[in-house]
Structure 1
């Protein structure tokens, strides 16, 4: 098998219930598997922890972008009102920061919203028009009534026969090879 472009992409096991999927994912995690995915038609409590889903970085990205957007909005207004084109209107100070609040707020929200959308897309690897599991015939039921655990070929614990035997030990409805 060529390690850079393997023919076998991994194994996917099909389960009837969410509890079977969570149990299999927990045992796979305990066995040392780290590069695995779970697919279900609805959110399953405890599944994220079972597959080792780590905390996401979206809150930090959104906060940073919002902070930079707010600073950028305030700086833009300060530069225009105090440095580039100062106009003394009605005796008010050039740096009249209360007048800058609405634009600063809007720039904060705009930058944070864009960061949330594009950060989520980037961190989720989207758009992904094709994934090798789409080639598995039974995978179409993942959005209806079946639960799938997929272990990838690039996992450190992955060995073709051992991983297949490991997944067969859970007595899944079906076990399929995922090819690229």
Structure 2
């Protein structure tokens, strides 16, 4: 592992070249890979073995918690301060529906936003990849594959030769 380096960044001209290089890197034994592209490349997430997000489960749990909080809050208030208006039942669940709906949506949305920020590692104001010279082109017209220095198979010389043979237009060792 190279000291004080984040990884080796290879630049590719097309998404097909990036996908082929990522497949070759995976076959060559590299496990810690990352890619930077101007648009989603179909199949790249599977090659990089990105984990499936669990945000929808967090949203569901947040929604159920919001509904439960709203229901328990209203039940407690009606128990603690009962009002008998027009002979209606003390625990009229249909009257609780509006508050339950509102808190279900609110807590679900807040839980989803917090989970998304946490999963994405945000807020992160600086990332080592920003030290790369040409990384700004990843949002325009270039595709980058980064073999992270923490990979067990990473050796700056061998990895550079590998990425060059995989069709990289340019290579850069990114400092951390």
SS at match of 2:134: helix
Match of 2:109? 113
Aligned mate of 1:90, from 86, 100, 117: 86
SS at match of 1:55: coil
Tell me, which stretches of 5 or more residues in structure 1 are unaligned?
none
Q: TM (normalized to structure 2)?
A: 0.94
Task: Please identify, of 63-72 and 21-30, the stretch whose mean Cα deviation from structure 2 is larger.
Answer: 21-30
Q: TM (normalized to structure 1)?
A: 0.92
Q: String of CA shifts for 1:30-79, please: whole Å, max 9, x gaps.
A: 33323221111111111111211121110111111111111111111111
Q: Give the distance between the partners of 2:47 and 2:100, measured in 1 at CA.
A: 42
SS at match of 1:14: strand
Q: Is the 8 A contact 1:15 1:148 kept in 2?
A: yes
Match of 1:75? 72
Tell me, which stretches of 5 or more residues in structure 2 are unaligned?
none
Q: Give the distance between the partners of 2:170 and 2:126, measured in 1 at CA.
A: 22
Q: Is the 8 A contact 2:17 2:167 kept in 1?
A: no
The aligned length equals 176
Task: Please identify, of 67-76 and 24-33, the stretch whose mean Cα deviation from structure 2 is larger.
Answer: 24-33
- Runs (4 or more) in structure 1 with deviation over 6 Å come to none
Q: Give the distance between the partners of 2:61 and 2:162, measured in 1 at CA.
A: 43
Structure 1 residue 157: Cα displacement = 2.4
